[in-house]
Amino acid sequence: MTEIWSAAPDSRRLEVAKLRDTGRADERDRTLMKLALGQARRAIGSTSPNPVVGAVVARGWDVLAAGHHKRAGGPHAERAALEGLEGIDLSGATLYVNLEPCCHYGATPPCTDVIIERKVGRVVASISDPNPLVSGKGFRTLAESGVSVEVGLLAAEATRLNEAYLTRVARGRPFVAVKVAGTWDGRIADSSGRSKWITGLKARRYAHYLRAHFDAVLVGSRTVLLDDPQLDVRLVKGRSPAKIVLDPGLESLRAGSKLLVPGGGRTVFVCGPGGAGARTELALALGVELWEVPSDGAEGLDLGMFLKRAAGEGFSSILVEGGAATVTSFMKARVVDKICLFAAPKLMGSGLSWMGDAALGGLEKGPSIKEIAVRKIGPDVLMSGYLDWTGSR
Ligand SMILES: NC(=O)c1ccc[n+]([C@@H]2O[C@H](COP(=O)([O-])OP(=O)(O)OC[C@H]3O[C@@H](n4cnc5c(N)ncnc54)[C@H](OP(=O)(O)O)[C@@H]3O)[C@@H](O)[C@H]2O)c1
């Protein structure tokens, strides 16, 4: 489905025609939009809280320029692509972009301004931006200035690409994925709490690659106490995410913890109301942020409130890495969007299962898993998929 935005020439009224197949979304448009999506992918993990956006300027099959948004505060993709095309007639050119161009002043001026100034003839965008400051206004502004605007090309791919940003803006919380490394019988630690290493080196490398795509990695206090994890990206190239520990009593906040290596990046300990108390000084000395979050009765911390705070702090995505109690609490709160399950070809027969009773409602009401991907990584298998909570809330 392609939406054509146009300003009726006789009046300033806008019309949005929903057309099944205009013949415009042809192979060339698809190919060039794929190029724009590829540009955007180059910055995954680096732009938060901003979306990942790529842009391509082409005349016919002739690609004149391409660019992407590299980091929050830096030039947007449209400006990056149009830079250097000064003096070139772009009236017959198309700008392909995976997200609606912005039309407001933020850290940078509106992208619609530069598109209009350079007299770009046509803009093809994949999806609109749910940010209330944009949300269709970018398309309207362009159409009112005579730019031909088409929306909807490769929308599914573009939505997945920006799942983190779109979740935060539309739902007011970060995109949440759970990552588990377990055996075929679903155990993530043996009876004595040991979990190193269940999966092989290739899978662990892949897990670091995953981490580099998230704004934060989160674990529970017992994992910190038992495993003393670093939670950084060191097995592959990439930026380390922030680290978050759910620890109502701040028991795992200790000097010398591997989490707290100097220069190790932003580290947050989440505790209950009034929990910071006597440990505030220690946290300050260790360079750790303390977030007090209301409790949710017997369920522990109110994860809804925690996620709201995290979104407000600019986190668009969180990778929950365990252990079992932590994963269970996120599942119980129905705030998990995706599961990445590494299964090692081993059976423990006893030990800790990756999820306890999350009161999901059994076979009939439990969430189903969609868009499943399976890949073999060394001897291990990674199964990933999106949770469909419809009917189980
Ligand atoms: N193979 C893997 O993928 C993997 C990954 C991680 C960990 N592990 C293993 O898992 C084991 C630890 O798992 P675990 O289930 O025992 O503990 P855990 O999930 O690491 O930590 C549980 C603790 O975290 C805090 N917490 C978690 N969610 C909370 C919430 N919603 N509200 C309030 N507090 C919350 C609580 O701290 P308080 O008790 O202070 O209230 C809770 O007792 C270890 O053996 C570790 O090696 C395996």
Residue 2's pLDDT is 52
Of the pLDDT bands very low, low, confident and very high (cuts 50, 70, 90), residue 172 is very high
Res 118 pLDDT > 70 = yes
Output 107 or 286, whichever has higher pLDDT: 286
Mutation probe of ligand 1 site: the residue of 268, 326, 350 with most atoms within 8 A of C-beta:
326
Residue 150's pLDDT is 95
Q: How far is the CA of 245 from the centre of ligand 1 (A)?
A: 9
Q: How far is the CA of 353 from the centre of ligand 1 (A)?
A: 12
Q: Classify 182 in phi/psi space as left (phi over 0), alpha (psi -120 to 50) or beta.
A: beta
Bridge partners, 17 (sequence order)? 4
218 is written with which tokens?
């989160």
Question: What is the longest distance spanned by two Cα atoms in the chain?
Answer: 77
Q: How far is the CA of 228 from the centre of ligand 1 (A)?
A: 12
**Ligand 1 pocket, residues with Cβ under 6 angstroms:** 180-182, 188-189, 193, 195, 198, 219-223, 226-227, 246-249, 251, 300-301, 303, 321-326, 329, 352
Q: Classify 128 in phi/psi space as left (phi over 0), alpha (psi -120 to 50) or beta.
A: beta
For 185-232, write each residue's pLDDT tens digit.
999 999 988 888 999 999 999 999 999 999 999 999 999 999 999 999
Task: Note the helical H segments in the chain.
Answer: 27-41, 77-82, 111-117, 137-144, 155-161, 163-171, 201-211, 221-227, 280-286, 303-312, 324-332, 362-365
96, 138, 207, 229, 343 from 200: Cα distances, Å: 41, 48, 11, 17, 10
CA 208 to chain centre: 16
3-state helix, strand, coil in the chain (%, to 5): 30, 25, 45
Q: How high does pLDDT run on average in the chain?
A: 90
Residue 26's pLDDT is 86
Q: How far is the CA of 164 from the centre of ligand 1 (A)?
A: 24
pLDDT (average), residues 174-179: 98
Residue 261's pLDDT is 85
pLDDT (average), residues 24-47: 89
Supply the pTM of this predicted model: 0.90
Mutation probe of ligand 1 site: the residue of 178, 183, 184, 222 with most atoms within 8 A of C-beta:
222
Residue 4's pLDDT is 55
Q: Is 3 a catalytic residue?
A: no
Residue 20's pLDDT is 37
Q: What would the DSSP string read from start to end of 317-357?
A: EEEE---HHHHHHHHHTT---EEEEEEES---SSSEES---
For 287-336, write each residue's pLDDT tens digit.
999 999 999 888 799 999 999 999 999 999 999 998 999 999 999 999 99
The Cα 175–Cα 182 span in angstroms is: 23
Q: Which atom of ligand 1 is nearest to the CA of 296?
A: 32
Phi, psi of 223 (to 5 degrees): -65, -40
Which residue has 């000064």 as its token pair?
86
Residue 11's pLDDT is 30
Q: Which atom of ligand 1 is nearest to the CA of 227?
A: 47
Give the number of other Cβ atoms within 10 Å of residue 99's Cβ: 33
Residue 393's pLDDT is 60
Sheet holding 148-151, edge to edge: 14-19, 2-7, 148-151, 122-127, 94-99, 54-59, 62-68
Output 14 or 100, whichever has higher pLDDT: 100
Of the pLDDT bands very low, low, confident and very high (cuts 50, 70, 90), residue 3 is low
Q: How far is the CA of 331 from the centre of ligand 1 (A)?
A: 13
Give the β-pairing of 317-320 and 216-220.
parallel
Q: Which atom of ligand 1 is nearest to the CA of 182?
A: 1
Q: Which of 15, 27, 78, 299 is catalytic?
A: 78
